[in-house]
Amino acid sequence: MSKIIVTSALPYINGIPHLGNLAGSILPADIYSKYLSMAGRDHIFICGSDQHGTPVELTAIRLGIPPEEYADSMHERVKAALEAFGCTFTYYGKTHTDANMRTVYSIFDALRKNGYIIEAQVLQAYCLIDKRFIPDRMIEGVCPFCNGTHARGDQCDDCGHTLRADELIEPHCNICGKGEIEFRNTKSLMLDLPALSKQIMGFVEKRKELFTKNAINKTVSFVEGGLKPRSISREIRWGFKIPMEGYEDKVFYVWFDAVIGYIGITDEWSHAEADTYWKEGSTELIQFMGKDNIEFHTVIWPAILSGSDLGYILPKRIIAYEWLNSKSVKFSKSRGNGLNIENSLKVLGADYWRFMLAYLLPETSDSEFSPEAAEEIVNKIMNDKIGNFVHRAITIALRNIGMLGDTDSGQLLDGYSDRLDSISKSYVSEFESIRIREALREVVALADIGNELMSGKRPWELAKSGNSLEFSKVMLTALRISKNIGILLWPFANSSSASILKHFGIHSEPKLAMLQEPLNFDSSVPEEQVFYKIGEREISLLSEYKG
């Protein structure tokens, strides 16, 4: 079976990711990676901090510390927050490392030797107040496509269009806040996308059935709009210096070393293993991202890899998500402001957020988060459907253990074995198609079967009547459903999954094969609640982050 590389778009380090950032890339990648582990697939999950660029440099200047010190401190902070969120990476690295620099220089040299790096004069914003060239990301204005008022000079987050700074209406400098900007010619290195158009079109045509719909639509629109050379150099200090005469005062544009960072971070994890994943033709590269990152990964990144001709694999699947929005709660990536992944854990535990965000995952359209949605999902689905069923099943079994019979007999009520197998097959099918939200719905459907069983058979009455044979069949079926829920819940809420599975002698990461193994019910483990309802306290804490 082929190797798999799972990546998530690297979070930019100038702030703590908010819940929308998490739901749009890292969380679904982590959930999918956990599923692959359960399925016994040979894979690695690579992510890390995108550390370069002007915003980091300017923040460091304001703080009076070197950019590297600020970038590394934020890297550690974000890494700790993601781990507290239950994310388990094969390796979570960063882009400002010797390993990534070597990889960037190697690919740049190859692109240059192959004729895909050209020089050009480009228009770049020059701030008359700050007396310096300003990178595109530090220019804001009105988007010429959707009239959004906070478009940046490289992209509009409202409509997702890739932009040039000189296309913005009423541009202003984000450093001084003034609109006294001139666009001046400056020498730049360019990735010659037109010269790579054949490779790009071949890649897009071959992969279009494997991209999410938004990814292929935006890619086709981008390509049909006409490929143009793309600048890869910038006149700032923070970044990898360009190893080329005449460019000593420039660094690589942050997006160039960031996408290459997937390889560089893998190399830092294991230099010996990196090529066995990135240069074996059978390896599948599956990349998760928000819709604002599509063109970078479906056009520019494949162009870099193809143009280098160094044998690196190209992405097989691009999984791009729409936006998770909120009108009632402020999502913010700025430090300490808004419901980011640090602040959210002050309100609820990681499992609650992971389940909620997966349940609301914007797979095909934008979705909305609100305190009301949180209360609905936690109280009515997590607690009432899943938690209450599992707790009742285990509690009734423990209190009537003498009537239970052989828990490893596998004897279920008629028809339930097929129903449980059908749920498991649908769950696997949804994950193999990378429909993560729908896979979670199968876990809920399994709990629905359990609740239907309990309300229909009323095992507590069977226990009172002394009907041991029927009681045993009902409860073995209920316990089998509980164990299956514990296994299938693992990628979404692994701590809660573990609290269920310890009743069945499973004390480590479960495998899908365990669905077919004997029940192994451990009556020595006391019952405990899986989930708890939220109420005024949690809603009040969420209200502190009102939009």
* From-to residues of CATH 3.40.50.620 in the chain: 4-116+192-321
Using alpha carbons only, how large is the chain's radius of gyration in Å?
Answer: 26
Is the model's pLDDT at 529 over the cut of 90?
yes
* Structure confidence at residue 337 (pLDDT): 67
Q: What percentage of the chain carries pLDDT values higher than 70?
A: 99
Beta strand 91-94 with 117-127 is: unpaired
Please report where in the chains the tokens 């936690």 appear, as a residue. 378
Residue 155's beta-bridge partner residues? 162
Residue 107's beta-bridge partner residues? none
**Do residues 303 and 193 touch, judged by C-beta distance below 8 A?**
yes
**Cα separation, 133 vs 173, whole angstroms:** 10
* Structure confidence at residue 74 (pLDDT): 98
Q: Please give the angle made by the CA atoms of 4, 500 and 350, to the nearest 5 degrees.
A: 65
**Cα separation, 81 vs 76, whole angstroms:** 9
pLDDT in tens, 97-126: 999 999 999 999 999 999 999 999 988 889
**Cα separation, 147 vs 477, whole angstroms:** 58
In single-letter form, the type of residue at position 415 comes to G
**pLDDT average, residue stretch 296-316:** 97
Is the model's pLDDT at 28 over the cut of 60?
yes
pLDDT in tens, 185-199: 889 999 999 999 999
pLDDT in tens, 45-97: 999 999 999 889 989 988 999 999 999 999 999 999 999 999 999 999 999 99
**Cα separation, 32 vs 426, whole angstroms:** 15
Tell me the CB-side half-sphere exposure of residue 120, using CA atoms within 13 A.
Answer: 16
How would you list the strands of the sheet with 117-127, edge to edge?
132-133, 117-127, 181-191, 230-231
* Structure confidence at residue 92 (pLDDT): 98
Tell me the CB-side half-sphere exposure of residue 345, using CA atoms within 13 A.
Answer: 16
**Cα separation, 489 vs 291, whole angstroms:** 27
Cα-Cα-Cα-Cα torsion 383, 389, 394, 399, nearest 10 degrees, comes to: 110
* Structure confidence at residue 421 (pLDDT): 97
**Cα separation, 503 vs 189, whole angstroms:** 61
Confidence category of residue 410, pLDDT binned at 50, 70, 90: low
Q: Is 325 left (phi over 0), alpha (psi -120 to 50) or beta?
A: beta
Average pLDDT over the chain reads 94
* From-to residues of CATH 1.10.730.10 in the chain: 349-516
* Structure confidence at residue 382 (pLDDT): 98
Helix (H, G, I), strand (E, B) or coil at 170: strand
* Structure confidence at residue 150 (pLDDT): 85
Instruction: CATH number for 349-516: choose from 1.10.730.10, 3.40.50.1220, 1.10.760.10, 3.40.50.1820.
Output: 1.10.730.10
Element (H, E) at 82: helix 67-84
| Residue 393: C-alpha distances to residues 215, 246, 372 (Å) | 44, 73, 29
Confidence category of residue 174, pLDDT binned at 50, 70, 90: confident
On whether the 4-116+192-321 domain is CATH 3.40.50.620, my answer is yes
**Do residues 147 and 119 touch, judged by C-beta distance below 8 A?**
no
pTM: 0.93
pLDDT in tens, 148-168: 998 988 889 788 788 888 899
Beta strand 230-231 with 181-191 is: antiparallel
Is the model's pLDDT at 512 over the cut of 80?
yes
Element (H, E) at 109: helix 98-113
The pair of three-digit structure tokens given for residue 39, joined into one six-digit string: 């399925």
The pair of three-digit structure tokens given for residue 112, joined into one six-digit string: 């240059």
Element (H, E) at 181: strand 181-191
**Cα separation, 515 vs 49, whole angstroms:** 37
Pick from 326-340, 426-440, 500-514: least confident: 326-340
Print burial letters for 279-295: b (CB count within 10 Å at least 16), e (below 16): eeeebbbbbbbbbbbbb
Nearest to 537 by CA among 348, 343, 331, 342: 348
User: Mapped to the 3 state alphabet, what secondary structure does 461-518 carry?
Assistant: HHHHHCCHHHHHHHHHHHHHHHHHHHHHHCCCCHHHHHHHHHHHCCCCCCCHHHHHCC
Q: Please give the angle made by the CA atoms of 233, 236 and 237, to the nearest 5 degrees.
A: 115
Counting every residue, how long is the chain? 547
Element (H, E) at 51: none
Is the model's pLDDT at 533 over the cut of 70?
yes
Beta strand 367-368 with 324-325 is: parallel
In single-letter form, the type of residue at position 54 comes to T
DSSP 87: -
The pair of three-digit structure tokens given for residue 503, joined into one six-digit string: 């009743």
* Structure confidence at residue 520 (pLDDT): 93
The pair of three-digit structure tokens given for residue 509, joined into one six-digit string: 């990461």
The residue ranking higher by pLDDT, 287 or 334, is: 287
Nearest to 379 by CA among 403, 355, 404: 355
pLDDT in tens, 202-229: 999 999 899 999 999 999 999 999 999 9
Is the model's pLDDT at 335 over the cut of 60?
no
Nearest to 167 by CA among 200, 201, 125, 204: 125
**pLDDT average, residue stretch 452-480:** 95
Please report where in the chains the tokens 């590269």 appear, as a residue. 285
The pair of three-digit structure tokens given for residue 130, joined into one six-digit string: 């700050």
In single-letter form, the type of residue at position 203 comes to F
**Do residues 277 and 44 touch, judged by C-beta distance below 8 A?**
yes
